[in-house]
């Protein structure tokens, strides 16, 4: 189950209202969405891949993924990840009561697909056998303050090798705390990649998130709906749906959460700076995603050019040319790209959003 709902505002102007972050071609020549689909196909049977997305991107996703329309669950409104995940679980359970789901955000970058698929398979066995909600925990490689962390608990048991209980979810820490986490070895990055059976998730939703549980009432019991009937059903669900992240609504409250610690390279590609890190931008080393770098002495820049780009005396900068709009930002300031988007929204500039 690929979650393709995020807007990716911090990747403006490459990511736009009509072509959000999953469509960025930053995964070794593929889009993030194509890479997510490729990862899913490593372990999921053909025809077992679902996508959840918003109405404004459904057509683009249908064309890009070539999935049959009924496999694309179109949210009538944006209600954060708890509703997206729980709705999808409830929907799928109606026709497949024993379904085990892996939730893959469409905007992550994971170069080692085989290691990823192996981890998902192992997590799926625990999810199916023990009814656990398994979240992948990435071994930190730096004291990152932009990620949430999982405090790892005891081993889940000899039947589930590698799996651990989760003691606590930790919000994005400050630098000192992140450094302690890295040294201590008991904390993992919370990647937001989950594996669970649909019934286990919905059991925990009922226990931990009553508002969410109520919203899903129209999907209770078996059934198959398509087209307008499906849209009507979803519209009823979303009318009173709470807007919460799945971590906050369910994972942090449930006692059934386990983690599978993994060590493969992973990035949620959160900002131009983190993408630059992923691509190997470093002092003296500029990376170019498109276009041609005509001149650059300083290096340490990320260039997405569409054309020839020359840099003189600038370093640690991202130059992003989206055709109609050009962004030049210091990489260290790139989390604030959101503020540009907010300012443009406030001025009603939908033409450049």
For residue 332, state whether it binds a copy of itself (rule: CB under 8 A).
yes
Among 63, 324, 346, 350, binds a copy of itself (CB under 8 A): 324
> 133-138 and 100-105: which strand pairing?
unpaired
Least distance to a copy of itself, CB of residue 302, Å: 12
Helix (H, G, I), strand (E, B) or coil at 194: strand
User: Distance (Å, rounded) from C-alpha 340 to C-alpha 297?
Assistant: 29
Separation CA 302–CA 178 (nearest Å)? 26
Compute the least distance from the CB of residue 146 to a copy of itself, in Å: 17
- Whether cis (ω within 30° of 0) applies to the bond prior to 103 is no
With CB under 8 A as the contact rule, the residue among 69, 155, 282, 328 that binds a copy of itself is: 328
Instruction: Select from 64, 77, 207, 325 the one that contacts a copy of itself (CB under 8 A).
Output: 325
List 13, 20, 192, 300, residue binding a copy of itself (CB under 8 A): 13
If the CB atoms of residues 197 and 334 are measured against a copy of itself, the closer one turns out to be 334
Closest approach, Cβ 225 to a copy of itself, in A, equals 43
CB of 293 to a copy of itself, least distance (A): 11
Residue 163, φ and ψ in degrees, nearest 5:
-80, 140
Contact by Cβ (8 Å): 140, 266? no
* Partners of 73 in the β-ladder: 52
Q: Is 135 in the site for a copy of itself (CB under 8 A)?
A: no
Say whether 27 sits in a helix, a strand or coil.
strand
CB atoms within 10 A of CB 298: 15
Cβ neighbors of 292 (< 8 A, separation 6 or more) are 305, 307, 308, 309
The stretch near a copy of itself (CB under 8 A) out of 89-97, 125-133, 239-247, 340-348 is 340-348
Q: Round to the nearest angstrom and report the end-to-end CA distance of the chain.
A: 28
Task: Based on the shown chain and the rule CB under 8 A, indicate whether residue 40 belongs to the binding site for a copy of itself.
Answer: no
- Which residues have a Cβ under 8 Å from the Cβ of 211 and sit 6 or more positions away? 240, 241, 242
Which range touches a copy of itself (CB under 8 A), out of 28-36, 158-166, 169-177, 321-329?
A: 321-329
Residue 322 CB, shortest distance to a copy of itself, in Å, is 9
Q: Which stretch binds a copy of itself (CB under 8 A): 20-28, 112-120, 246-254, 328-336?
A: 328-336
In the region spanning residues 257 to 316, those forming contacts with a copy of itself, defined by CB under 8 A, are 294-295, 305, 307-314
Residues within the interface to a copy of itself (CB under 8 A): 13, 294-295, 305, 307-314, 317, 319, 321, 323-330, 332-334, 336-337, 340, 343-344, 349, 352
């Amino acid at each position: 189950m690929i979650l393709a709902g995020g807007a990716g505002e911090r990747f403006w102007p490459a990511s736009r209202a009509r072509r959000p972050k999953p469509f960025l071609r930053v995964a070794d020549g593929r889009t993030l969405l194509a890479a997510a689909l490729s990862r899913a196909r490593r372990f999921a049977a053909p025809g077992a891949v679902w996508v959840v997305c918003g109405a404004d991107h459904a057509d683009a996703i249908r064309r890009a993924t070539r999935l049959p329309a009924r496999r694309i669950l179109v949210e009538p409104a944006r209600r954060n990840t708890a509703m997206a995940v729980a709705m999808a679980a409830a929907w799928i359970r109606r026709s497949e009561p024993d379904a085990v789901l892996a939730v893959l955000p469409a905007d992550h970058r994971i170069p080692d697909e085989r290691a990823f698929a192996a981890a998902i398979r192992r997590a799926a066995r625990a999810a199916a056998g023990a009814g656990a909600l398994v979240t992948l925990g990435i071994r930190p490689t730096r004291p990152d303050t932009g990620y949430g962390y999982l405090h790892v608990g005891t081993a889940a048991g000899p039947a589930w090798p590698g799996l651990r209980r989760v003691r606590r979810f930790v919000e994005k820490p400050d630098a000192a705390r992140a450094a302690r986490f890295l040294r201590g070895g008991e904390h993992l990055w919370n990647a937001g990649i989950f594996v669970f059976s649909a019934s286990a998730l919905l059991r925990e939703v009922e226990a931990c998130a009553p508002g969410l549980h109520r919203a899903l009432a129209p999907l209770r019991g078996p059934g198959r709906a398509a087209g307008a009937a499906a849209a009507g059903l979803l519209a009823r669900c979303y009318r009173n749906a709470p807007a919460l992240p799945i971590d906050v609504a369910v994972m942090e409250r449930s006692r059934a959460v386990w983690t599978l610690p993994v060590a493969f390279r992973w990035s949620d590609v959160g900002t131009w700076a983190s993408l630059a890190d992923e691509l190997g931008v470093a002092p003296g080393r500029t990376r170019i995603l498109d276009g041609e770098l005509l001149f650059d002495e300083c290096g340490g820049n990320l260039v997405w050019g569409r054309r020839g780009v020359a840099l003189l005396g600038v370093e640690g900068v991202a130059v992003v040319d989206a055709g109609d709009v050009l962004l030049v930002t210091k990489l260290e300031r790139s989390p604030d790209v959101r503020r540009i988007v907010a300012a443009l929204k406030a001025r009603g500039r939908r033409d450049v959003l």
